[in-house]
Structure 1
């Protein structure tokens, strides 16, 4: 059995100092020409998924883009559909493969619920090197691993599961605790150097983050070295009060969307009802986590109304200490790599159906925001959860590609009486033109392709 070292770190002792500074002064400067969101378009969207028994309880959540090393048209998009498993699409958004959320390979198995996905490149397994889709499984509080066929979209079965048996629960001591569902949630891959692959995982309903090292276990893939960190759940305000983000009873302000700058080891983590954080990996390695930007209602005191299951302001006329770009929930996060240390951080502002863009280096200066309008039969993007972006040319997307979740999916061919989701493809070139951003598609920008 693989020996696992577990380290738990807490930020409770530094939260007051850190956040008193964060809310007293804006975390990011407003751009000189601040204006409303730009509008970009999409005409390429995946088939609709329905979250009901007839649809296989498929609810889209998070995408990842696998870039073929030689023939970009063979690149694929892998998405999670929760209880509906995984879907694999080509660059024209045609479904290539549907993988059910099978039981995890364990002695106490449960059927899976796949929440988030990311891609690990050049992983060693059974004497060969392969690329892997890494998936968080909420119902089993663990990671699942799927080898990617090098043929990509030309393969008969692009993904095959290679998860080792009986991997340790990430956040819970036993199956009874796992069944409470405070389990593995958001996920990002971190590959600091060749031959080392880690995953960053968040926990549903808490403020905990964890990292694990991905390793070979008996000819399959598993993980070891679980390390944890707990970020703040309450925040001191300049008026002397303490703000507790309003949540359902028993729930803390959780994280989901995470992304790692592979060049610097900086983790960007979206705390859904709070804002966007930046911290250094490995966890606890030094430097205080910093709140890069805050949701618009940061600091507004709410109470939970059990009758409506909604949070309502204690004082409807009260002001807060929020930012201007992120409307809760803050969801998907990913990185478009530029040359050197440059690039852009893209963040889903689910509450107002927009996407915020920040510089990747320095103080993460905001570069504007955009929304996505559907054209030629595609619908507008609403309530985006996960997203993925690449600077690499893939198929007809010669300036790079953004893939984003859309909920609810609408349109004349969609059954409005069923919970419908899907994913849309957006040209990075159009986003760059709308916000005056740079386009640089060289492989060397992204350390995963060096």
Structure 2
């Protein structure tokens, strides 16, 4: 029998389910009427939300220091300089609110209310990202959830902005966000606890923290600890410590709450614990003896913000794909951004993102431009796109004065699934189109239109081992960069009469995460850079465009709170120019496709970023 018990103990500990011990609890502030309590960030005081007494600032014994009258439930806080931002639910107005608290002056500020929702809000929690944007998550009935932008730094917005909706568990009531890990944790009453990416540009997916199929268990409130979360099970009156181990969550320990019949609310500060027993309405405090092991956070990439964005494309789903920038030869401020809609055709925008033209010619994937193409007796600029309807090259003339685009013809290809395309124009002036297919085949065509009808002469063919897409040509150095989505980026001689010998620029790894998507060249009088869309982690990598292709780091396109423009994520194509386009674009412009349009949620679009901001963010030489 002793041996069996020993084996049982070992099994429980090694499987991540340690035996529960009792947590010593003592009553705290017995006369306090509170639905929720929280420790004040960076201070000894505490907060309470009461349906009878309002929002309360309390000392560590529970004595009232300041009151904001009303009927409140749910509570979360974030430090904001010398002040504290408090989020709660106003039950009288049935609205979430944010309010500043000055603990030193014991003074509440003016509340900021979120708009009334069309569903009952059960709970809320705050989140601050690496760019100091402040968000509030709302947890509602029937699986409804939302993320709202409410401030930046210590300043609240005049009007909160809805960022996105979130499908949450149908019986969720509680949530907490680990800012450093960008993780939202939500309960599902009869199932367990789930973790979601909290960043507004993240994909909506969930990871189980702990799930169970046991009617004797219940998933309740949570509180954060370094590298993990403490979760409350009201039915068993136990606290469970879960910590992240790689992509998984593992239970490290558990504690019983003796004497509590219906523990509901939970707050933790270091080792201090506050818990409320819903059966009696009383609060209790205790001290944890757990040694939580902090989990290293992912490196924080610098962020730049889009200054403009294009009108959303006219098709739902994964539609927008690849941009190109046409430079007006005399007036750069009249330049245009071209973009493909792979469910519709080619789009043209001004530098403020307003849609100017829409050419519904079919499913265009990638597009590129070059100047001075002889279309019969006419000199035009040329845009070429890969047409997935016909596995062909669609050509468009661009009027060099007005910027107007017109269909100029089509060049068929033998590719079974055409995908990417880029153009190459050596000093001699002719224009080559390099198209690729999903099987890895690259075809190089010399384009011409001596009698006004476009034609393409196949001059070279080569292949990579797996699916490519993005490519860009360095006309000056006669070098072609190509992306192999799951492998990395290659350089190859762009000249048609030269062998296609591949040289590795950078391989997929920690910095460049598959899929490798758009490629673009920033070429100025100084150093030249290759910009790569690292789709796997929603970032953009900058490397030297010359051997040994040194890396200068990666950045993300984040939210612009002042302009009401969301960030960019899941980027397919991108383009960049070093030309002075005027105003904020004096040192160039970066355009990226945004795969997840937020704030408001709409069809995909393109984001316009001043290159000067990229230079600052990465400290480029």
On whether the aligned pair clears a TM of 0.5, the verdict is yes
Q: Secondary structure at the match of 2:457?
A: strand
Whole-Å Cα distance in 1 between the matches of residues 304 and 515 of structure 2? 21
Give the equivalent residue in structure 1 for 2:519: 333
Work out the CA distance in 1 between the residues paired with 2:382 and 2:399.
9
Measured in 1, the distance between the counterparts of 2:351 and 2:399 equals 16
Match for residue 406 of structure 2? 160
Matching residue of 2:462: 229
Q: Larger deviation: 219-228 or 352-361?
A: 219-228
Listed as ranges, the matches of 1:2-81 within 5 Å are: 36-52=300-316, 59-81=319-341
How is 1:26-425 mapped onto 2 (pairs within 5 angstroms)? 36-52=300-316, 59-101=319-361, 112-152=362-402, 158-163=404-409, 167=411, 169-172=412-415, 182-204=416-438, 206-216=439-449, 218-231=451-464, 233=465, 253-282=466-495, 285-286=498-499, 288-296=501-509, 324-339=510-525, 342-375=527-560, 376-396=563-583, 397-412=585-600, 414-415=601-602, 420-425=603-608
Partner of residue 618, structure 2 = 435
Q: Deviations over 1:277-304 (max 9, x none)?
A: 11112357247312221112xxxxxxxx
**What SS is found at the alignment partner of 2:333?**
helix
Distance 1:225 1:330 in 2: 26
Larger radius of gyration: 2
For residues 98 and 292 of structure 1, the distance between their equivalents in structure 2, rounded to whole angstroms, comes to 36
Q: Is the strand fraction higher in 1 or 2?
A: 2
d(CA) in 2 for partners of 1:152 and 1:410? 33
CA distance in 1: counterparts of 2:338 and 2:610, whole angstroms: 18
If asked which structure has higher relative contact order (CA below 8 Å, sep 6+), I would say 1
Write the deviation string for residues 120-166 of structure 1: whole angstroms up to 9, x where unpaired: 1111112222101111111111111111122346xxxx1111115xx
Normalising by structure 1, we get a TM-score of 0.68
Partners of 2:452 and 2:512 in 1: how far apart? 44
Residues 67 and 267 of structure 1, relative CA distance in 2, 3 Å threshold: same
Q: Once the 2 structures are TM-superposed, how far is the Cα of residue 339 of structure 1 from its aligned partner?
A: 2.6
> In 2, are the aligned partners of 1:202 and 1:209 still within 8 Å (CA)?
yes
CA deviation profile, 1:11-65 (whole Å, cap 9, x unmatched): xxxxxxxxxxxxxxxxxxxxxxxx742211113111122534xxxx881000000
Contact 2:386–2:420 (CA under 8 A) maintained in structure 1 = yes
RMSD of aligned C-alpha atoms? 2.0
SS of 1:364's equivalent in the other structure is coil
C-alpha spacing 1:113/1:226, structure 2 compared with 1 (3 Å): farther
Q: Give how far 1:83 is off.
A: 2.2
Cα displacement (A) at 1:433: 1.1
Residue 47 of structure 1 aligns to a residue whose secondary structure is coil
Q: Structure 1: how far apart are the matches of 2:335 and 2:594?
A: 21
Q: Alignment partner of 1:62: what SS?
A: strand
Indicate conservation of the 8 Å contact 2:421/2:435, yes or no: yes
Distance in 1, matches of 2:467 and 2:328, equals: 34
CA distance in 1, matches of 2:486, 2:477: 26
User: Contact conserved, 2:376 with 2:450, CA < 8 A, in 1?
Assistant: no
Q: Partners in 2 of 1:353 and 1:140 — Cα distance? A: 31
**Shift in Å, 1:184:** 2.0
The alpha-carbon deviation at position 68 of structure 1 amounts to: 0.9
Q: Aligned to 2:449, what secondary structure does the other structure show?
A: strand
CA contact (8 A) 1:139 1:183 kept: no
Distance 2:373 2:547 in 1: 31
Q: How many residues of Structure 1 are paired with residues of Structure 2 in the alignment? A: 321
For structure 1, which runs of at least 5 residues remain unmatched after alignment?
1-34, 102-111, 173-181, 234-252, 297-323, 439-450
Deviation of 1:384 after TM superposition, in Å, equals 0.6
